[in-house]
Structure 1
Amino acid sequence: MDMIYVIAYDIGTTGVKTCLFGIGEKIELIAGVHEGYGLYMVENGGAEQDENEWWNAMCSTTKKLFDSADVKPSDINGISFCSQMQGLVLVDESGSAVRRPMSYMDQRAVGEIKEGIAHGIQVAGANVFKLVKSLIITGAASTSVKDPVWKYKWVERNEPQNFERTHKWLDVKEYLICRCTGKFVMTEDSAFATLLYDTRDGKRGWSMELCKMYGVRPEHLPDVIKSTDVAGYLTRGASEALGLVHDIPVFGGGGDASLIGIGAGCVETGDTHIYLGTSGWVSTIVDRQKVDVSKMIAAIVGAQSEHYNYFAEMETAGKCLEWVKDHLALDEIDIYLEKRHVAESKETLYASLYDYLME
């Protein structure tokens, strides 16, 4: 069979991994390029990123893909995304961000979550009546200050001018899909991650009941597509910036929590994988939605139809190790022993400080 060439963008917390795959009798990784970008910690628990840094990193890595590959830009048959989830990117009618995107790590909305759900008779820190309603409709609930709806409400309260300029609420990869195609969409897994998406059979779609409960404007919510759907086609402007041919189909793709399990081969009911990156989780494939409110574990909508990921998450995992390396390892536990890098020491065979810490 003829080889099909596709580009996949993994939009992580600290950088983009841009990969060129050939699909024939098997899937082959032909080339890959990584480029980092910033994560900006601001006062009161804020965590933001720069949408132009995402885009610029996509553009530069795409062009570098072809330096070492015997493939031309005109050979590319499609592009898609894997991405961090539960960010908040508010855009105007032209698709431009009205403010810097808020990362899933942002936790400024303490007042908003307290006013919105953490009051009255509570179970697991949430108003019991609102909790039950949300569990019935979505199978989960916005009980963390990091959930996107509270970021949305924070902007509404603290930045009313930006809020009034908002046309659509997008997640990270959805912003980049918009920049590629001009289309405002959200894949099902991203829509579910807002915890405003009705997952009940026959009712799948944005829940007007939950929008009313949380005070979300329904007109801000984009059209929902499947991960395998074509979201749109690469515009001439985007194709010139990326160094690709215009009108290439752009697929919805999925969030990291949806696609990492598939990449690990966990696709059947009962399959389990453990992920450790900037964040971390344990996830098991189940065939129906379930939730453990006391342990904050829920079955989330994934990229596979009629399958759910029963998902226990740590918001920060490898990021904590990085913090220890940068802030504790040098002095408090004398990991360097002397004022020289362990990788340069004749007494050790460690390639990096991470290796030394692991030992």
Structure 2
Amino acid sequence: MDTDCILAYDIGTTGVKTCLFRVNSTLELLASATKEYPIQLLANGGAEQNPEDWWLAMQSTTATVLSDAKMNKDRIQGISFCSQMQGLVLVDENFDPVRNAMSYMDQRASSEMKKGISHGFKIEGINAIKLLLSLWITGAVAASVKDPIWKYKWVEKNEPENFGKVRWWFDVKEYLIARCTNEAVMTRDSAFATFLYNSRKGKGDWSPLLCKLFGVRREHLPKIINAEEKVGGLTREAAEFLGLKTDTLVFGGGGDASLIGVGAGAVEEGDTHIYAGTSGWIGTVTKKRTVDIDARIASIVGARDGYYNYFGEQETSGKCLQWVKDHLALDEIDLYLEKKKITDGPDAIYESLFEFMFDSIKDTEPGSHGVIFTPWLHGNRCPFEDPKARGIFFNISLHTGKRVLIRAVIEGILFHKRWILELSDRKVKTSNKIRFVGGVARSSFICQMLADITGKTIERVIHPENVGAIGAAAIAALGLGKIKEFEDIKQMIPVDQTWTPNTFLKPVYDKNFSVFQNLYESNKKHFAMLNS
């Protein structure tokens, strides 16, 4: 009988993906299921979700994977989570949400941020005292309107009745862990993402000074735990709801920014991975607390105690491809062949869109005839923080067709990744071989383009679209003792295929990239004027 099976829940922005793994010499995927849920985008910049939607999606996908794998619930040894980060889930003493969860995309707290850090003597537009203390204590600073501390302050100011009911401040997976175990905890990576966590060596707890400085109630912040730590067992009520066994072990897991790297097998110092899903980022494992304020890149706390990911985020990555599907590809490429909608579900876009769209542009000239696209469809974080930045098609001519525009979009997404890579190298050297993961990495076409544009060797792991769940499963296996050392995770996640750069394409990509880098500075005043 198999006794080494783990359930991993990947809680994304648009849906839950639940994966069932068997732990052997590799993490063997036995079954997976996805359930979508909505996100409410509000006129004032708000972005909210109903936490009950996550819980219901966990229930339905658990039933599906157990049924598909013909797996008895008694054979599940543990469950773990990988989730979207920097959400705000405020709950009462019974763990019931006092309001909808505020997504990491929520950007309505601009006045709270301005009041909180944009006063007095400033460095890079940030109050000098708060900036320097934040960097000293946590290694980063809440310099984005989307950071959860400003969401917290927004609720305090605008919804005092709801705020008065708050007992705990959770991130997304912490709420779900509480539903599973009746325990209030937060993993170190989630705690770091609040920018109230003392990440200096030998510390590793909430900072009373930062809580006081930013007006956060210390009693709202839960106990901090490690990613592989056992939180407890499933309560009888949670087990019955999910269709699992009471007391099934629940592990802390981690946020997507830390566990996707683990699932990519980028776990040793110096390993770099690139993620391209709805959003995207570049992460390199380091033992150093390092920050580049100008480039908005910092060492964030990872899943492994004592290690960090030097991390630069791209706000919209694969989301730009969805925009292409909706607004460019349909007429030209006929994505509704045989009058059948083939873009249903979060996975279908990465099978059907790629299959049709990339086949249609395979002969389009690299460099897109000099047309350049900026992938800032929902603002940007790195290397500049600007929620008002937007996408541009630059240098269109009478001869520019849809296929050229589509290729320019892909090149623009990858130019931005190259930009972050090159800025990362200033302080933490990125590896020559890079693990590329996320739904977008399923396209061999894009893998080769990424190698050509960055000049790096690109490695893709098996199931690149499931790396968040793979990372969560690896962490649970570590907690169960099925994996002995953190470094052993790399051997359990094999490389599927490798791409090397075509050096003869370097001149055309270098030329376009140099223009790409200057488009924001040339247009930031226009973005502010049009999108204020």
- Identify the TM-score tier after normalising by the shorter chain: over 0.9
- Does the CA contact (< 8 Å) of 1:3 and 1:24 recur in 2? no
The 3-state SS of whatever aligns with 1:16 is strand
The offset of 1:328, in angstroms, is 4.5
- Does the CA contact (< 8 Å) of 1:343 and 1:353 recur in 2? no
Residue 11 (str. 1) matches residue 11 (str. 2): yes
The 3-state SS of whatever aligns with 1:313 is strand
Match of 2:401 in 1: none
Instruction: Report the AA paired with residue 31 of structure 1.
Output: A
Instruction: Report the AA paired with residue 219 of structure 1.
Output: E
The offset of 1:123, in angstroms, is 2.3
Deviations 1:214-238 (A, max 9, x none): 0000000000000011112101111
Which is greater in Rg? 2
Percent sequence identity over matched residues? Answer: 58
Give the distance between the partners of 1:12 and 1:116, measured in 2 at CA. Answer: 29
Match of 1:114 in 2: 114
Mapping of 1:1-359 within 5 angstroms?
A: 3-330=3-330, 334-336=331-333, 341=335, 343-344=337-338, 352-358=352-358, 359=361
Give the distance between the partners of 1:85 and 1:352, measured in 2 at CA. Answer: 28
- Does the CA contact (< 8 Å) of 2:335 and 2:356 recur in 1? no
Structure 2: gaps (5+ residues): 340-349, 362-532
The offset of 1:268, in angstroms, is 1.1
The offset of 1:29, in angstroms, is 1.0
- Does the CA contact (< 8 Å) of 1:49 and 1:101 recur in 2? yes
Deviations 1:7-60 (A, max 9, x none): 000001111110111113432111111111111101211111111110000001
The 3-state SS of whatever aligns with 1:335 is helix
The 3-state SS of whatever aligns with 1:165 is coil
- Does the CA contact (< 8 Å) of 1:342 and 1:352 recur in 2? no
Give the distance between the partners of 1:145 and 1:278, measured in 2 at CA. Answer: 19
- Does the CA contact (< 8 Å) of 1:2 and 1:24 recur in 2? no
Deviations 1:56-111 (A, max 9, x none): 00001101112221320111111110111000000000001100000001000000
Give the distance between the partners of 2:257 and 2:159, measured in 1 at CA. Answer: 30
The 3-state SS of whatever aligns with 2:183 is coil
Give the distance between the partners of 2:69 and 2:294, measured in 1 at CA. Answer: 50
The 3-state SS of whatever aligns with 2:232 is strand
Deviations 1:171-226 (A, max 9, x none): 00000000111111000000001010001122220001000110000000000000
- Does the CA contact (< 8 Å) of 1:116 and 1:214 recur in 2? yes
- Does the CA contact (< 8 Å) of 2:168 and 2:221 recur in 1? yes
The offset of 1:327, in angstroms, is 3.6
Give the distance between the partners of 1:343 and 1:119, measured in 2 at CA. Answer: 57
The offset of 1:296, in angstroms, is 0.2
The offset of 1:3, in angstroms, is 3.7
- Does the CA contact (< 8 Å) of 1:197 and 1:206 recur in 2? yes
Root-mean-square deviation (Å): 1.7
Structure 1: gaps (5+ residues): none
Deviations 1:300-335 (A, max 9, x none): 0000111110001012222232233324545xxx53
- Relative to its length, the structure with more strand (as a share) is 1
| CA distance 1:130–1:113, change in 2 (3 Å) | same
The offset of 1:356, in angstroms, is 4.1
Instruction: Report the AA paired with residue 158 of structure 1.
Output: N
The 3-state SS of whatever aligns with 2:67 is coil
The offset of 1:343, in angstroms, is 3.7
Aligned length: 349
The offset of 1:351, in angstroms, is 6.5
Give the distance between the partners of 2:57 and 2:353, measured in 1 at CA. Answer: 27
Give the distance between the partners of 1:215 and 1:168, measured in 2 at CA. Answer: 15
Give the distance between the partners of 1:200 and 1:2, measured in 2 at CA. Answer: 42
Match of 2:469 in 1: none
Instruction: Report the AA paired with residue 14 of structure 1.
Output: T
More displaced 10-residue stretch of structure 1: 63-72 or 203-212: 63-72
- Relative to its length, the structure with more helix (as a share) is 2
- Does the CA contact (< 8 Å) of 1:342 and 1:353 recur in 2? no
- Structure 2 length-normalised TM: 0.64
The 3-state SS of whatever aligns with 2:97 is coil
The offset of 1:262, in angstroms, is 1.0
The 3-state SS of whatever aligns with 1:269 is coil
Instruction: Report the AA paired with residue 226 of structure 1.
Output: N
| CA distance 1:136–1:352, change in 2 (3 Å) | same
